[in-house]
Structure 1
Amino acid sequence: MSAAMPVSRDRQFLGHPVGLTVLFLTEMWEMFSFFGMRALLVYYMTKHLDIAQEYASLIYGVYGALVYFTPVFGGYIADRWLGKRRAVLIGGGIMALGHFMMASEWLFYPALITIALGNGLFLPCLASQIEGLYRKGDARSKSAYNIYYVGVNLGAFLAPLVCGFLGEAYGWRWGFAAAGIGMLVSLVIYVAGLPHLPPEPARSAPARSLRPTLDGPARQQLIFLMGIAAIVVVFRGAYEQVGNTIALWADEGVNRQVTSGWSIPMAWFQALDPLVVFAATPLLVTRWARLATRGVDTPSLYKMAFGAGVVGLSYVLLAAIATWTETHGAHAHWAWLVGWFVLMTLGELYILPVGLGLFGRLAPEGLRATCIALWFFAGFFGNLLAGALGTLWSKLPHGGFFLAIGCVAGCSAALLFLVGLSVGRAEKRDNPTPTPTPTPTPTTALSP
């Protein structure tokens, strides 16, 4: 970072630039709007619009896929023409409009498309500003992505509690309207915090000169990141069941009764994932920082493989619970679902924020928003896969379905581990792209 960095960006808050707090709060309220709508979506389709379960799951998957597909184009447009700041403002405004449109049954499908389009500009351009807050080589940049991820999940935690409650208790349109208000709050925070964010690069030169050059190493980095994104697609096929078939099981297969007169609202269970995220993230970040000071820095791919394996294990355990309850004609106690969310989310923390940080650090210069969009693009195919898998919910025993999902997550864990072996020590040398070796052996073991 140049010495001409504005003074406002040198200000610190809790050991990090103030700009990280701005991005944290902006993303928190954007996630409040996104997950607030998502918490109601499957229930809204099956209970209000009378859409059959298999079609509702498929629509849910296609919508989720669009949310992760549009950032590829949004990131490219921002890198080439709009700039990150303008893209965030335009995208956020479009998303707010889409959330308010959800209040009308007649605008259901146009509203989903509108939200997905706005998200395409908003999502990659917010996260891609994190790296610009730190000088090159600043060790804090790695933990910054985990802190940012807490903001994502704080909004996701509040969303089902507020929007889910309003939708179930007072009507679906009230829940969707609350999501739209959350998006407007996000935009206000972003505009107020602009002085603390990285400045946009000069765009007075001809467009051709602004295009980054893809030399050999940069091209290899892109290929490497594309391979990781492809594996994350498989993982998301399992992970994205949280708002889909897991939500259905919470309604159909779980005893939510707490007292004789009160049951836990079904949408509230979706707040457990983000609750565990922001409770456990400080502990994990502190542990990783202490290990790093002792020279123990586990490569990101190994962390991601471990996380995917834990998620797979959580589904296998859920399969055992669902099989037992089906065999005995009973409903699972709500505490089992709480325990599953805790275990699954602990695995999530080892793969999703770690992967986001990996893509942010390894993006070629001038293509950071595009590479962040590539990370989210894995969610496009992942949600399509999750939606397709969700159509099996009504055709398989619930225990068998969860076992199959556990195997999907396990496959992604094995693939990430194998890629980690092939990368060797390259990531520790700040060059994570596998390079050809003169020996016939194609892999080099990573140190523990």
Structure 2
Amino acid sequence: MVGPTPRGLKAPGREGWLYSAVPERSVPVNPAAPVASTGELLGHPKGLYVCFLTEMWERFAFYGMKALLFLYLTQHHKFSDANGYLLLGTYAGLAYALPLLGGLLADRYLGMRKAVVFGGLLLVFGQLGMAYTGEAASGIQGQGVVDGFAVQVMYFALALIGVGVGFLKPNISTIVGRLYADTDPRRDSAFTIFYMGINVGATLSSLVVGYVGIQYGWGYGFGLAGVMMALGLVQFIVGRKHLLGQAEPADPEALKAPLFAGLSREWLIYLGSLVLTVVVWQVLQTRINFAPLTALAGGHEVTLTEVVALVLGLGLGVWFIRLLLTDLSRVEKGRMVVLMALIVISALFWGLYEQSYGPWVAMAERTMDLTTFGLTWNAAQTTAFGAIFVILFSLPFAWLWPKLDKRGLNPSYPAKFGWGLVFCGLAFGVLAFSTGTAGEDGLVSVWWMILAYAVLVAGEMVLSPIGLSAVTTLSIKRAVGLMMGAWFLFSAFGEIIAGRMGTWAAIEPEADGSISSAKALVVYGDVFTDMMWIGLAAGVLMFALTPVLKRLMKE
């Protein structure tokens, strides 16, 4: 690895960004540990476990709902595959982008505790809103007669969840950092414990919410996610004393003082966030038809989220070019160019990776024998395999890099990104190959899905935490926050890309509304082969560029 691993990056994985910014945002008010104390549990402040449980149940709710979402859209509301994939990508993209705003508002005004409580409330209402499913659509998938009111309730519930995640997600990890002094040797251990809460929540959610939603009804699955989020929020509120006053507003008096029309800044933030929720509600379902402008190419329809993402990407590009034209040294310019290249390519990785919640779930539902060791899974539950492998692989990969470094074999940042993309491509190769192994019943063994997840998560371990380290190592000091924001933003772009790429695997049902496993296997075999080559080609490109990028980092 080039450069040191940032504090708090003990446990790798996608969710590592939750605490990657700890060195920037969670520096305690005083360099020493807080004077106040409510005692310790297993060698750590009790506040750590308050945050652990809050985040665990938030991730339980988020990933449980996400595991069910595509199946719910296509089976209950009869969305076409393409529209289901697009909404999944649009929603997830917004959920990963909005934490930038929530973190900023908490830092400057609300404080982390108030932001977590407000975000938690929005999440509870959103998850419980998803529990209202209305009447099931009638007719054939993609052409069904839908319950319009129920669909609008769903869109608004998704908007509430997206904005709620924006307030809760970045701030709960910041509180953990503030419970420890900068020099406290327990700090890294604390984030490892916290990270385990994330993965325990993600694993349990797919298994439990996935089971309840499929077995007893969609509303019960979503409702369970909301109830558990509510319990997590209650224990956070009850346990506030264990946060040692480290999550309060920077200026409480200014926050409470009337600012406009007799309303305080705090209430204006809350009201503004509700307005933002209404905006997101509309953004999620707005499409723009560019056919008149692209008639020669056949024309196509894009989501408003994709347009916003393009504008933000162009804006970031303009800012970056202007930054390079300032008085940076040659070395600083080179390192910033390398960092931006890594950030941009990460969007492609996440675009491929997040197929696991779309086409992978659809493949499990339509073409797989989901029985192993006498147990029968459902398609939503297969998403738990990813979280399980993250838990299994975290310590081995944490052990691997120092060992390779001692032998002079530790790959550079660009090379690790190349390996991450190669593993990602190979995961799709596993599933593409599996489509030719169907048994007499026309189904493929779920063990192929398990193997694909193992390979995919190996790629995640190589790329995700390394990207976070690269941001803090390669960026110039005055731009670390913005470059970390760029990393988050391109993670959101990856979700949107995933939705668009997922449409390649869309399948039109037969006249009777059925989709045969044979037809589905052909589609998934072709699409996953294409995605395999995209991942492998991107990985090979990164290997080819590695010498140049390494030189830029050192010049």
Q: TM-score range by the shorter chain?
A: 0.7 to 0.9
Partner of 2:386: 273
Q: Is contact 2:60-2:204 (8 Å) kept?
A: yes
Once residues 36 and 542 of structure 2 are traced to their aligned partners in structure 1, the CA distance between those partners, rounded to angstroms, is 40
Partner of 1:250: 364
- After superposing the two structures, state which structure 1 stretch, 189-198 or 67-76, moved more: 189-198
Q: Is contact 2:114-2:248 (8 Å) kept?
A: no
1:154 is matched with which residue: 187, 196, 200? 200
1:391 is matched with which residue: 485, 491, 503? 503
Once residues 46 and 412 of structure 2 are traced to their aligned partners in structure 1, the CA distance between those partners, rounded to angstroms, is 28
Once residues 193 and 465 of structure 2 are traced to their aligned partners in structure 1, the CA distance between those partners, rounded to angstroms, is 9
- After superposing the two structures, state which structure 1 stretch, 266-275 or 16-25, moved more: 16-25
Partner of 2:173: 127
Paired positions, count: 421
- Mapping of residues 218-233 of structure 1, within 5 Å: 227-233=341-347
Q: Is contact 1:165-1:265 (8 Å) kept?
A: yes
Once residues 251 and 312 of structure 1 are traced to their aligned partners in structure 2, the CA distance between those partners, rounded to angstroms, is 22
TM-superposed deviation, 1:205: 11
Q: Is contact 1:57-1:244 (8 Å) kept?
A: yes
- Mapping of residues 350-369 of structure 1, within 5 Å: 350-356=462-468, 358-359=470-471
Once residues 356 and 14 of structure 1 are traced to their aligned partners in structure 2, the CA distance between those partners, rounded to angstroms, is 29
Partner of 1:341: 453
Task: Name the aligned partner's letter for residue 399 of structure 1.
Answer: G
Q: Is contact 2:31-2:182 (8 Å) kept?
A: no
TM-superposed deviation, 1:165: 1.0
TM-superposed deviation, 1:234: 0.8
Once residues 409 and 16 of structure 1 are traced to their aligned partners in structure 2, the CA distance between those partners, rounded to angstroms, is 42
Once residues 50 and 160 of structure 2 are traced to their aligned partners in structure 1, the CA distance between those partners, rounded to angstroms, is 25
Once residues 26 and 397 of structure 1 are traced to their aligned partners in structure 2, the CA distance between those partners, rounded to angstroms, is 41
Once residues 314 and 86 of structure 1 are traced to their aligned partners in structure 2, the CA distance between those partners, rounded to angstroms, is 41
Once residues 85 and 347 of structure 2 are traced to their aligned partners in structure 1, the CA distance between those partners, rounded to angstroms, is 18
Q: TM-score, normalised by structure 2?
A: 0.65
Once residues 173 and 55 of structure 1 are traced to their aligned partners in structure 2, the CA distance between those partners, rounded to angstroms, is 21
Q: Give structure 1 stretches of 5+ with no counterpart.
A: 208-213, 425-440
Task: Name the aligned partner's letter for residue 343 of structure 2.
Answer: A
TM-superposed deviation, 1:421: 4.8
- 3-state SS of paired residue (1:268): helix
Q: Is contact 2:351-2:495 (8 Å) kept?
A: yes
Q: Deviations over 1:277-304 (max 9, x none)?
A: 1122123324445666888765555444
TM-superposed deviation, 1:275: 1.1
Once residues 211 and 167 of structure 2 are traced to their aligned partners in structure 1, the CA distance between those partners, rounded to angstroms, is 29
Query: Structure 1 residues 205, 170: CA separation in 2 closer, same or farther (over 3 Å shift)?
Result: closer
Q: Is contact 1:253-1:331 (8 Å) kept?
A: yes
Once residues 481 and 57 of structure 2 are traced to their aligned partners in structure 1, the CA distance between those partners, rounded to angstroms, is 21
Partner of 1:437: none
Task: Name the aligned partner's letter for residue 316 of structure 1.
Answer: G
Identity over aligned residues, as a percent? 30
- After superposing the two structures, state which structure 1 stretch, 123-132 or 80-89, moved more: 123-132
- After superposing the two structures, state which structure 1 stretch, 369-378 or 112-121, moved more: 369-378
Query: Structure 1 residues 41, 3: CA separation in 2 closer, same or farther (over 3 Å shift)?
Result: closer
- Mapping of residues 300-315 of structure 1, within 5 Å: 302-315=415-428
Once residues 362 and 430 of structure 2 are traced to their aligned partners in structure 1, the CA distance between those partners, rounded to angstroms, is 18
TM-superposed deviation, 1:82: 2.1
Once residues 177 and 161 of structure 2 are traced to their aligned partners in structure 1, the CA distance between those partners, rounded to angstroms, is 26
Partner of 2:5: none
- Higher Cα Rg: structure 1 or 2? 2
TM-superposed deviation, 1:53: 1.4
- After superposing the two structures, state which structure 1 stretch, 132-141 or 273-282, moved more: 132-141
1:195 is matched with which residue: 240, 243, 254? 243
1:318 equivalent to 2:444? Answer: no
Q: Is contact 1:232-1:412 (8 Å) kept?
A: no
Q: Is contact 1:150-1:277 (8 Å) kept?
A: no
Once residues 33 and 410 of structure 1 are traced to their aligned partners in structure 2, the CA distance between those partners, rounded to angstroms, is 34
Partner of 2:528: 402
1:75 equivalent to 2:103? Answer: yes
Q: Is contact 2:420-2:463 (8 Å) kept?
A: yes
TM-superposed deviation, 1:84: 2.7
Q: Deviations over 1:347-378 (max 9, x none)?
A: 22222244345557778889987765543322
Once residues 290 and 305 of structure 1 are traced to their aligned partners in structure 2, the CA distance between those partners, rounded to angstroms, is 20
Q: Is contact 2:349-2:494 (8 Å) kept?
A: yes
Once residues 74 and 304 of structure 1 are traced to their aligned partners in structure 2, the CA distance between those partners, rounded to angstroms, is 29
Once residues 418 and 384 of structure 1 are traced to their aligned partners in structure 2, the CA distance between those partners, rounded to angstroms, is 27
Task: Name the aligned partner's letter for residue 311 of structure 1.
Answer: C
Task: Name the aligned partner's letter for residue 267 of structure 1.
Answer: A
Once residues 139 and 412 of structure 1 are traced to their aligned partners in structure 2, the CA distance between those partners, rounded to angstroms, is 39
TM-superposed deviation, 1:100: 0.4
Partner of 1:36: 64
- After superposing the two structures, state which structure 1 stretch, 127-136 or 104-113, moved more: 127-136
Query: Structure 1 residues 415, 88: CA separation in 2 closer, same or farther (over 3 Å shift)?
Result: farther
Q: Deviations over 1:122-169 (max 9, x none)?
A: 222233455555655778767766654433221110002111111111
Once residues 388 and 81 of structure 2 are traced to their aligned partners in structure 1, the CA distance between those partners, rounded to angstroms, is 28
Once residues 79 and 401 of structure 1 are traced to their aligned partners in structure 2, the CA distance between those partners, rounded to angstroms, is 44
Once residues 100 and 367 of structure 1 are traced to their aligned partners in structure 2, the CA distance between those partners, rounded to angstroms, is 40
2:351 is matched with which residue: 228, 237, 240? 237
Q: Deviations over 1:5-27 (max 9, x none)?
A: 31468988778776555444332
Query: Structure 1 residues 418, 178: CA separation in 2 closer, same or farther (over 3 Å shift)?
Result: farther
1:46 equivalent to 2:74? Answer: yes
Task: Name the aligned partner's letter for residue 332 of structure 1.
Answer: V
Q: Is contact 1:71-1:119 (8 Å) kept?
A: yes
Q: Give structure 2 stretches of 5+ with no counterpart.
A: 1-27, 134-149, 256-322, 508-521
Once residues 421 and 477 of structure 2 are traced to their aligned partners in structure 1, the CA distance between those partners, rounded to angstroms, is 29
1:169 equivalent to 2:215? Answer: yes
Once residues 542 and 392 of structure 2 are traced to their aligned partners in structure 1, the CA distance between those partners, rounded to angstroms, is 26
Task: Name the aligned partner's letter for residue 377 of structure 1.
Answer: L
TM-superposed deviation, 1:29: 1.4
**Alignment RMSD (CA, Å):** 4.0
1:58 equivalent to 2:171? Answer: no
TM-superposed deviation, 1:268: 1.6
Q: Is contact 1:75-1:124 (8 Å) kept?
A: yes
Task: Name the aligned partner's letter for residue 117 of structure 1.
Answer: V
TM-superposed deviation, 1:313: 1.2
Once residues 406 and 127 of structure 2 are traced to their aligned partners in structure 1, the CA distance between those partners, rounded to angstroms, is 45
Q: Deviations over 1:227-263 (max 9, x none)?
A: 4332211111100001100000001111224589x63
- Mapping of residues 93-104 of structure 1, within 5 Å: 93-104=121-132
Once residues 234 and 117 of structure 1 are traced to their aligned partners in structure 2, the CA distance between those partners, rounded to angstroms, is 25
Task: Name the aligned partner's letter for residue 408 of structure 1.
Answer: I
Task: Name the aligned partner's letter for residue 367 of structure 2.
Answer: G
TM-superposed deviation, 1:332: 1.1
Q: Is contact 1:231-1:415 (8 Å) kept?
A: no
Q: Is contact 2:132-2:219 (8 Å) kept?
A: yes
Query: Structure 1 residues 404, 16: CA separation in 2 closer, same or farther (over 3 Å shift)?
Result: farther
Task: Name the aligned partner's letter for residue 406 of structure 1.
Answer: M
